[in-house]
A and B are shown apart, each in its own frame.
Chain A
Amino acid sequence: MMKDIAQVIEDTAAKLLKIAATKLPTEVKESLLKGEKETEGALGKSQLQAINENVSIAEDQSKPMCQDTGLVSFFVKVGDKFPLRSEVKTALIKGTKKATQNVPLRPNAVDMFEGNTKNNVGLRGFVPWFYFDLVEGDNCEIIAMPKGGGSSNVGKMKMIPPGKGIKGVKEFVVEALAAAGPLACPPYVVGVGVGGGEDMCMNLAKKALLRPLYQYHKDEKIASIEKELLNVLNKLEIGAMGLGEGPSVLDVHMEFAARHPASLPVGVVISCWALRHSGATIDNEGNVEWHPH
Chain B
Amino acid sequence: MEFHLTTPIPPKKLKEIKIGDIVYLTGTVVTARDEAHLKALELHKEGKKPPVDFEGIGLFHCGPVMKKNEQGEWTVVAAGPTTSARMEIFQDEFIKVFHPSVIIGKGGMGERTSKACQDEKCIYGYFTGGAALLAADRIKQVKDVFWLEELGMPECLWVYEVEEFGPLTVTIDTHGGNLTDESKKNIEANKEKILQEL
Which of B10-18, B72-80, B89-97, B117-125 contacts the other chain?
B72-80
A190 to chain B, nearest CB (A): 14
- Determine if A232 and B134 form an interchain contact, defined as CB atoms under 8 angstroms apart: no
A54 contacts B by Cβ under 8 Å: yes
- Determine if A174 and B198 form an interchain contact, defined as CB atoms under 8 angstroms apart: yes
Contacts of A63 in B (CB 8 A): 77-78, 133
- Determine if B154 and A182 form an interchain contact, defined as CB atoms under 8 angstroms apart: no
B82 in complex: contacting residue of A68, A170, A181, A182, CB < 8 Å: A68
**Contacts A116-B152, A236-B190 given: A167-B198 contact, CB under 8 Å?**
yes
Interface residues of B in 176-198 (CB under 8 A from A): 179-180, 182-184, 186-188, 190-191, 193-195, 197-198
A43 contacts B by Cβ under 8 Å: yes
A54 in complex: contacting residue of B20, B130, B191, B197, CB < 8 Å: B130
Judged by DSSP, the binding face of A is loop
Contacts of B191 in A (CB 8 A): 174-175, 178, 236
Tell me the nearest residue of chain A to B155, going by C-beta.
A116
A47 to chain B, nearest CB (A): 5
- Determine if B132 and A183 form an interchain contact, defined as CB atoms under 8 angstroms apart: no
Chain B, residues 143-158, CB within 8 Å of chain A (1/0): the string is 0000000111111000
Query: How many chain A residues touch the partner (CB < 8 A)?
Result: 54
A230 to chain B, nearest CB (A): 13
- Determine if B130 and A181 form an interchain contact, defined as CB atoms under 8 angstroms apart: no
B54 contacts A by Cβ under 8 Å: no
B43 contacts A by Cβ under 8 Å: no
Contacts of A107 in B (CB 8 A): 152-154
B190 to chain A, nearest CB (A): 5
B154 in complex: contacting residue of A108, A170, A232, CB < 8 Å: A108
Contacts of B85 in A (CB 8 A): 183
- Determine if B133 and A65 form an interchain contact, defined as CB atoms under 8 angstroms apart: yes
Contacts of B194 in A (CB 8 A): 174, 232, 235-236
- Determine if A178 and B78 form an interchain contact, defined as CB atoms under 8 angstroms apart: no
B108 in complex: contacting residue of A69, A148, A182, CB < 8 Å: A182
B64 contacts A by Cβ under 8 Å: yes
A241 contacts B by Cβ under 8 Å: yes
Contacts of A178 in B (CB 8 A): 187-188, 190-191
Contacts of A244 in B (CB 8 A): 182-183, 186
- How many inter-chain contacts with C-beta < 8 Å in the A-B complex? 163
- Determine if A242 and B180 form an interchain contact, defined as CB atoms under 8 angstroms apart: yes
B167 contacts A by Cβ under 8 Å: yes
A67 contacts B by Cβ under 8 Å: yes
- Determine if A66 and B80 form an interchain contact, defined as CB atoms under 8 angstroms apart: yes
B52 contacts A by Cβ under 8 Å: no
**Contacts A174-B191, A174-B194, A244-B186 given: A104-B128 contact, CB under 8 Å?**
no
Q: Once bound together, how far apart are the Cα atoms of A247 and B65, in whole Å?
A: 29
Contacts of B107 in A (CB 8 A): 150, 182-185, 241-242
Q: Once bound together, how far apart are the Cα atoms of A171 and B191, in whole Å?
A: 9
- Determine if B130 and A237 form an interchain contact, defined as CB atoms under 8 angstroms apart: no
Contacts of A196 in B (CB 8 A): none
Contacts of B126 in A (CB 8 A): 241, 243
- Determine if B65 and A272 form an interchain contact, defined as CB atoms under 8 angstroms apart: no
A257 contacts B by Cβ under 8 Å: no
Contacts of A182 in B (CB 8 A): 107-108, 180, 183-184
A-B contacts, 20 listed (Cβ < 8 Å): A46-B128, A50-B134, A50-B167, A54-B134, A57-B137, A63-B133, A67-B62, A67-B79, A108-B154, A115-B151, A118-B152, A118-B153, A150-B82, A150-B129, A182-B183, A184-B83, A235-B194, A244-B186, A272-B129, A274-B130
What residues make up the interface of B, taking CB atoms closer than 8 Å to A?
20, 62-65, 67, 77-80, 82-83, 85-86, 106-108, 126, 128-134, 137, 150-155, 167, 169, 171, 179-180, 182-184, 186-188, 190-191, 193-195, 197-198
What residues make up the interface of A, taking CB atoms closer than 8 Å to B?
43, 46-47, 50-51, 53-54, 57-58, 61, 63-69, 104-108, 110, 115-116, 118, 148-150, 153, 167, 170-171, 174-175, 178, 181-185, 232, 235-239, 241-244, 272-274
